[in-house]
Chain A
């Protein structure tokens, strides 16, 4: 789910061809465990768990009351998104609002509050800026809130849009299925014994300088960490995945002018 601030400039004047449907990759993350604090944290589910990409390790509050998570990120990098993976904000009807501050005292709303429709990976995109503090305000809900992974950083906007041949991660189901049939021909049932999401994305004609300056850092980071991926955010804002590579990214020089082609093979949660 992509949640956009009304102020977000969807067209990057420095990168020709970008618009609302330009693919977004949320790999950049300035968070560290020491930056995090929360109004509430279950002793077995501390807030520091948000700072690692493992989706089985979670932060969890202690009540269903409204509460806040504070990230003291400093003023070093410009950031424009907060991403959440493996949470219950949608199913527990917990509103989410992102606030920013440059001094830790006065906060302004960056995006939201919004009620997410699902528990799938969520990207909150807002106007780029350098903030010393990012505050996540969670409304009261029907269950104790939890979330496994949170990224705060700067989105990578890919100048080449995706049109055909792509399977959005939420639909890239790979299942192992057993169908039972008895000796006399009766249908005995159908059991899914395993399922995961798999997809690939092909980007062609990437400017050689752009690739080297913006895409290569992502490639390096993606060798170790998962990333958020929205393939066509303008048309399909709900189709956001939290993905990890299943193969190396090896760019190919596809044109004599140095344009690059690159494929991402990935699995993930959606």
Chain B
């Protein structure tokens, strides 16, 4: 059956609901203007009372069969659509552009959105001016207003037709040859770096200079504190240092040198920039926040719950980042798209932003075959430049104020496919600076590397083809996954292969769709594993809190997760040292059953490095201080320490008094070592500090000593515990090198 195609374009223009000179409109002829307004912003004579009630204007490509029940102005000369191009797992891609060209003509100024007072004008509106000439003068504020491209067939209601939504970006005309053009983009444009930045630029600055040790500062100009700064948070001062702060008025109380930065002195006038920090958030939450709160995207464009379901089902990882300076939203989102292997795009039909984790396409997906692909339209393009044999992901950013580069990351994980690399005869390396991937999140980096390597170890092919708008046929959708089967694409037996593809570009024409799709193979990539949660401590770390670290990488565990077999494995890698900065904090805190962890959660700790408490400080006019605990748990764990070391901090040496002098004891061994007295040999990780006239600090897991025989002396501090909560520990194999007492 022959169908007749229809093309409409709708734009929503601002229009005031008031009537000129009728309250609340206070415009008055001869006072506020010499003629009545046209109910538009540009012609309004009482802006304060402008009540916007947008009006839809509908235009069409003229045809003899335009249905009379769908009113329109049939003045469209042409519609040009440059489609969005999705960039799978790389960035936000290329925005779609819609360009509509209209011809100019006369218009009677009647109808919705035109001149409410046409009958009062002293001229015949049809004979005076032109449609677009008058429109340009009355409606110059089109940027950001909605525009829709509607395509359908004769017999359909407007609501049944395919509607694509865009936002007006610019216009031109009317030109001398009678053309008026509107250019629109999809709302991804709002996230462009030249339109939106996160965090926003803060206008505050230091009123006076502060030293490296100062803990307070005053913001200027006066009143800026209440105007722009929250009551607490983070600030970057002078682009050099990040501080935590609390605020009262313009006064800041500072905790200096935070988040990988060092406290330094600052001059008066140094800017104080609010820092945006995402801590253990899902990519869905982060991207939503950036789009809505920084790019100004309408929240109704995002179905956040659907996004959250997608990432929890197919990704199951959390991300952390400190953004210390205003940064383009597009850049930020593109980085997390890359680091979480996502694709985000504007679905112009559903009028929604879509988010999807890159993943396998099911064999039951809809198929494009020789039966529905337009003859002669399929083209296949190899993309050898996309091949990867190694992925190096750097993660655990050190200082958010410094430029990206290997030096600014604590850790790196390289995943290499040597076999495929040797087959292809050369390596193909991709480096990713994972500024969204927190420290210790090797599993996040590993998952990313695995996805990329499995997808690109054989370079994906690019396919272009056309699909006719057949009644009841497949209606392709941008971003969706399909299967492609075609004689030209064969397996090693010469049979048509069945290729998973994802549509990355879609041009909807009146009679057909032009499609560009990319092959989406994932080899033998395992599905996301949220049962066996692994945390690898692969570089030295202080005050390790398992609960805190786990929740910064994975979603918090629930009783249901445990019932489903969830478990945690923590690996302290070879040569890695886990220490503590305070004897009151264990080097490694597991947490408490019931409050930190669900009852019954299996936690397995394999220590191949060293977990060591802080050394006790030497006493001064006092006994040596006790050493700190290495491992603390109130939740059952299985501990494998066969090749590892778990050392309590050494106790500090006791003080000694001789005549009018007193000497401070040596610090206990530890990581960090205890502080000893002046002139004493400092403690190290492996030995206590000692002083000839005072008590020695204890070695790892050893008590400090007293210098007996002096006029007065004090005892050494007690050794720190190797394990506090030994009754919760089940050893897997030999207990290994464990120094220091244990306690229940």
Residues of A whose CB lies within 8 Å of any CB of B are 33, 44-46, 48-49, 51-52, 54, 56-58, 86, 88, 119, 146, 173, 177-178, 180-186, 188-197, 269
Q: Is the CB of B378 within 8 A of A191?
A: no
Residues of A within 8 A of B64 (CB): 173, 195-197, 269
In angstroms, Cα B109 to Cα A33, docked, is 13
The residue that A57 contacts in the complex, of B108, B372, B374, with Cβ under 8 A, is B108
The residue that A54 contacts in the complex, of B126, B376, B377, B378, with Cβ under 8 A, is B126
Q: Is the CB of A190 within 8 A of B2?
A: yes
Q: Is the CB of A54 within 8 A of B375?
A: no
- Say yes or no: is B431 at the interface (Cβ < 8 Å to chain A): no
Residues of B within 8 A of A183 (CB): 370-371, 373-378, 486-487
In angstroms, Cα B124 to Cα A46, docked, is 14
| Per-residue interface assignment for chain B, residues 107 to 119, with 1 indicating a CB less than 8 Å from any chain A CB and 0 otherwise | 1101110000011
User: Which residues of B in the span 507-565 have a Cβ within 8 Å of any Cβ on A?
Assistant: 510-512
Chain B nearest CB from A183 CB (Å) reads 4
Known contacts being A44-B110, A45-B111, A193-B511, is A56 close to B73, with CB within 8 Å? yes
- Say yes or no: is B105 at the interface (Cβ < 8 Å to chain A): yes
Q: A57-B111, A57-B126, A189-B1 are in contact. List 11 more A-B contacts (CB 8 A).
A: A48-B119, A56-B72, A178-B512, A180-B468, A182-B468, A183-B374, A183-B487, A190-B3, A192-B3, A195-B63, A195-B64
In the complex, residue of chain B having the shortest beta-carbon distance to the beta carbon of A184? B370
Mostly, the A contact residues are: strand
Known contacts being A56-B74, A183-B376, A195-B65, is A189 close to B110, with CB within 8 Å? no
User: Which residues of B in the span 459-486 have a Cβ within 8 Å of any Cβ on A?
Assistant: 468-471, 473, 486
- Say yes or no: is B26 at the interface (Cβ < 8 Å to chain A): no
Chain B nearest CB from A110 CB (Å) reads 27
Chain A nearest CB from B472 CB (Å) reads 10
Q: Is the CB of A46 within 8 A of B119?
A: yes
Q: Is the CB of B511 within 8 A of A88?
A: no
Q: Is the CB of B5 within 8 A of A189?
A: no
Q: Is the CB of B371 within 8 A of A184?
A: yes
Residues of A within 8 A of B65 (CB): 192, 195
In angstroms, Cα B5 to Cα A270, docked, is 19
Chain A nearest CB from B637 CB (Å) reads 62
Q: Tally of A-B residue pairs with Cβ under 8 A?
A: 119
Q: Is the CB of B3 within 8 A of A48?
A: no
In angstroms, Cα B459 to Cα A194, docked, is 42
Q: Is the CB of B510 within 8 A of A188?
A: no
Q: Is the CB of A192 within 8 A of B4?
A: yes
Q: Is the CB of B107 within 8 A of A182?
A: no
30 A-B pairs within 8 Å (CB atoms) are namely A44-B110, A44-B112, A45-B110, A45-B111, A46-B119, A48-B108, A49-B108, A49-B110, A52-B106, A54-B107, A56-B73, A56-B74, A57-B107, A57-B110, A57-B126, A177-B2, A178-B510, A178-B512, A180-B512, A182-B373, A183-B377, A189-B469, A190-B2, A191-B153, A191-B468, A192-B4, A192-B5, A193-B510, A194-B61, A195-B64
Residues of A within 8 A of B61 (CB): 194
User: Which residues of B in the span 50-71 have a Cβ within 8 Å of any Cβ on A?
Assistant: 61-65, 68, 71
In the complex, residue of chain B having the shortest beta-carbon distance to the beta carbon of A189? B470
Residues of A within 8 A of B68 (CB): 86, 88, 119, 146
The residue that B126 contacts in the complex, of A52, A190, A196, with Cβ under 8 A, is A52
Known contacts being A48-B108, A119-B68, A188-B470, is A182 close to B374, with CB within 8 Å? yes
Residues of A within 8 A of B118 (CB): 46
Chain A nearest CB from B151 CB (Å) reads 10
Q: Is the CB of A180 within 8 A of B511?
A: yes
Residues of B within 8 A of A186 (CB): 371-372
Known contacts being A182-B371, A183-B374, A184-B371, is A44 close to B511, with CB within 8 Å? no
Q: Is the CB of B471 within 8 A of A189?
A: yes
Q: Is the CB of B106 within 8 A of A54?
A: yes
Q: Is the CB of A195 within 8 A of B4?
A: yes
Q: Is the CB of B73 within 8 A of A182?
A: no
Chain B nearest CB from A176 CB (Å) reads 9
In the complex, residue of chain A having the shortest beta-carbon distance to the beta carbon of B466? A180
In angstroms, Cα B372 to Cα A183, docked, is 7
In angstroms, Cα B66 to Cα A196, docked, is 10
Chain B nearest CB from A254 CB (Å) reads 33
Residues of B within 8 A of A192 (CB): 2-5, 65
| Per-residue interface assignment for chain B, residues 678 to 715, with 1 indicating a CB less than 8 Å from any chain A CB and 0 otherwise | 00000000000000000000000000000000000000
The residue that B510 contacts in the complex, of A146, A182, A191, with Cβ under 8 A, is A191
In angstroms, Cα B118 to Cα A51, docked, is 15
Known contacts being A44-B111, A180-B470, A191-B510, is A33 close to B374, with CB within 8 Å? no
Q: Is the CB of B62 within 8 A of A196?
A: yes
Q: Is the CB of A191 within 8 A of B371?
A: no
Residues of B within 8 A of A146 (CB): 68
Known contacts being A180-B512, A183-B373, A196-B62, is A191 close to B4, with CB within 8 Å? yes
Chain B nearest CB from A88 CB (Å) reads 6
Chain B nearest CB from A244 CB (Å) reads 12
Residues of A within 8 A of B108 (CB): 48-49, 52, 54, 57
In angstroms, Cα B71 to Cα A60, docked, is 12
- Which residue, of B3, B64, B107, B153, has the highest number of chain A Cβ atoms within 10 A? B64
In the complex, residue of chain B having the shortest beta-carbon distance to the beta carbon of A119? B68
Chain A nearest CB from B131 CB (Å) reads 9
Known contacts being A188-B470, A191-B4, is A181 close to B110, with CB within 8 Å? no
In the complex, residue of chain B having the shortest beta-carbon distance to the beta carbon of A172? B64
Residues of A within 8 A of B2 (CB): 177, 189-192
Residues of A within 8 A of B510 (CB): 178, 191, 193
Chain A nearest CB from B729 CB (Å) reads 67
Residues of A within 8 A of B62 (CB): 196
In the complex, residue of chain B having the shortest beta-carbon distance to the beta carbon of A198? B64
Residues of A within 8 A of B473 (CB): 188
Residues of B within 8 A of A269 (CB): 64
Residues of B within 8 A of A58 (CB): 71
In the complex, residue of chain A having the shortest beta-carbon distance to the beta carbon of B374? A180
Q: Is the CB of A182 within 8 A of B375?
A: yes
Chain A nearest CB from B76 CB (Å) reads 11
In angstroms, Cα B187 to Cα A216, docked, is 55
In angstroms, Cα B124 to Cα A186, docked, is 56
- Which residue, of B68, B110, B487, B510, has the highest number of chain A Cβ atoms within 10 A? B110
Q: Is the CB of B110 within 8 A of A48?
A: yes
Residues of B within 8 A of A184 (CB): 369-371
In the complex, residue of chain A having the shortest beta-carbon distance to the beta carbon of B486? A183
| Per-residue interface assignment for chain B, residues 487 to 521, with 1 indicating a CB less than 8 Å from any chain A CB and 0 otherwise | 10000000000000000000000111000000000
In angstroms, Cα B65 to Cα A56, docked, is 13
In angstroms, Cα B376 to Cα A76, docked, is 67
In the complex, residue of chain B having the shortest beta-carbon distance to the beta carbon of A178? B511
In the complex, residue of chain A having the shortest beta-carbon distance to the beta carbon of B468? A180
In angstroms, Cα B471 to Cα A54, docked, is 35
In angstroms, Cα B118 to Cα A33, docked, is 12
| Per-residue interface assignment for chain B, residues 398 to 413, with 1 indicating a CB less than 8 Å from any chain A CB and 0 otherwise | 0000000000000000
